[in-house]
Structure 1
Amino acid sequence: MSTSHVLAAAGVDLSYGATHAVRDAHIGLAKGEVTAITGASGSGKSSLLYCLAGVLPVTRGRIEFEERDYADLDDEEISTLRRERFGFVFQYGELLPELTVAENTALPLRLAGQKKKPALQAAAEVLDRLGIADLGDRRPSQVSGGQSQRVAVARALVHRPAVVFADEPTGSLDSANAAAVLREFLDLARSQGTAVLLVTHDATVAAQADRTYSMTDGTLQPTGATV
């Protein structure tokens, strides 16, 4: 696999019994590059994302992060990888309701062992870059949908991960909020040199990526560079 990729997969299959969710997928993610996978619901794009993130074990094939094969990592090493080197943005944010916006944002740093004060300072800086520094003391129930998704983006990027996995990150937002959040998310990720894997059914979202793939019935096909 290419050494230019921070994360790469070759010949990946994922089966649930007789159902083939992913078939012989090949993909590479480069530093600072945004890659989008489009496809209808049930096409296998989210399943592939979770394989690449080390959440789902593959049935066949190889996945390497910084040239280390997932097959050579034990469960603890995979968990550490997801916690410290990866970030995640989900469709509905998945913020912890009992924590403030700042505490939610700082969570990856705290889980990695950083003390509270510097973790909250780092959180404040990334919230400021996303234009929501004034929301730090609020609870998730006290912010709008667009603001909540910006907090999810801040949490995904606060620890400067190598890769962010984003599964329909703007799917719960109206078009104006979706466009703004996506722009801010991708600008910040690119500025940090973070690779982004973006799964979406929305062609306008995919058009913001540097490279695109389509997925149909578990089969992944490159559709080219968009930028």
Structure 2
Amino acid sequence: MGEAISTSEVLSATGVDLSYGSTLAVRDAHLSLTRGEIAAITGASGSGKSSLLYCLAGVLPPARGQVRFEGRAYDQLDDEDISALRRERFGFVFQYGELLPELTIEENTALPLRLAGQRKRPALEAAGEVLDRLGMADLRQRRPSQVSGGQSQRVAVARALVHRPAVVFADEPTGSLDSANAATVLQEFLGLARSQGTAVLLVTHDPSVAARADRRYTMADGVLESKGRAS
């Protein structure tokens, strides 16, 4: 009898290499992420952690090995399927928020739902609910230029989670914030993700951020090493 596949595993990498020309940025990476789990990859700048994150998100194709989402390998999907995954099943949080300046806070938050084809009114209602959970409901009609850095990053978190994705990929999600704002935004981000059953894969250079994860990895010179689950 073959090995049973865990029904709770949402994302996995097996023997993944990633190259930029002749430079091998990621070497033989193995990773597993289950539903609702928070996993962190730490490492110095240039260690390959962001490259691996974007490979797992289907943005960069591996040179070798396999990435699977809900048991299905990316190399079995065409470009349209991968784009649909990123749009509908994944969420993203970046270091500087990447909000669209011409849209209101509410419209920025609703963007994933609108891109997935949801009508404007229910999309804005869903956005308002998530913003309310993050203490941002009274700012929904402001533009990104009218809110603080910490507030902008809360909006980025709301946008990443509004469509209840299976996985959120977070690249230095609190790296642009001071320590007090970073701790608050991280707590709100991970708390909301856990309540929705959304898995989070985050890369960070900050050990205090990684300490909030259920499972930890380190990366150096393209080599990923599992530190196991938090005790």
TM-score range, shorter chain: over 0.9
**CA drift at 1:76:** 0.5
Amino acid aligned to 2:95? Q
- 2:9 counterpart of 1:42: no
Aligned equivalents of 1:17 and 1:56: distance in 2? 13
TM-score (norm: length of structure 2): 0.97
Instruction: Provide the rounded CA distance (Å) in 2 between the counterparts of 1:5 and 1:42.
Output: 28
Alpha-carbon RMSD across the aligned residues, in angstroms, is: 0.9
For residues 1-23 of structure 1, give each alpha carbon's deviation from its aligned partner in whole angstroms, at most 9, with x where no partner exists: 94331011100000112211000
CA–CA distance in structure 2, aligned partners of residues 150 and 17 of structure 1 = 37
Distance in 2 separating the partners of 1:22 and 1:160: 29
Give unmatched runs, 5+ long, in structure 2: none
Amino acid at match of 1:73: L
Mean Cα deviation higher: 87-96 or 16-25: 16-25
Q: Distance in 1 between matches of 2:199 and 2:189?
A: 12
| Aligned equivalent of 1:106 | 110
From 81, 84, 89, give the equivalent of 2:85: 81
Partner of 2:12: 8
Residue 128 (str. 1) matches residue 132 (str. 2): yes
Number of corresponding residues: 227
In 1, distance between residues paired with 2:194 and 2:91?
Answer: 14
Q: Are residue 94 (structure 1) and residue 98 (structure 2) matched?
A: yes
For 1:72, the aligned partner's letter is: Q
| Structure 1 residue runs without a partner (length 5+) | none
| Corresponding residue of 1:209 | 213
Q: Does residue 225 of structure 1 match 2:229? A: yes
Quote the Cα distance in structure 2 between the aligned partners of 1:7 and 1:17. Answer: 26
Question: Match of 2:141?
Answer: 137
User: 2:85 & 2:56 partners in 1: Cα distance?
Assistant: 12
Structure 1 length normalisation: TM-score? 0.99
Partner AA of 1:34 in structure 2: I
Q: Which residue in 2 is equivalent to 1:199?
A: 203
Report which stretch shifted further, 16-25 or 104-113. Answer: 16-25
Partners of 2:19 and 2:82 in 1: how far apart?
21
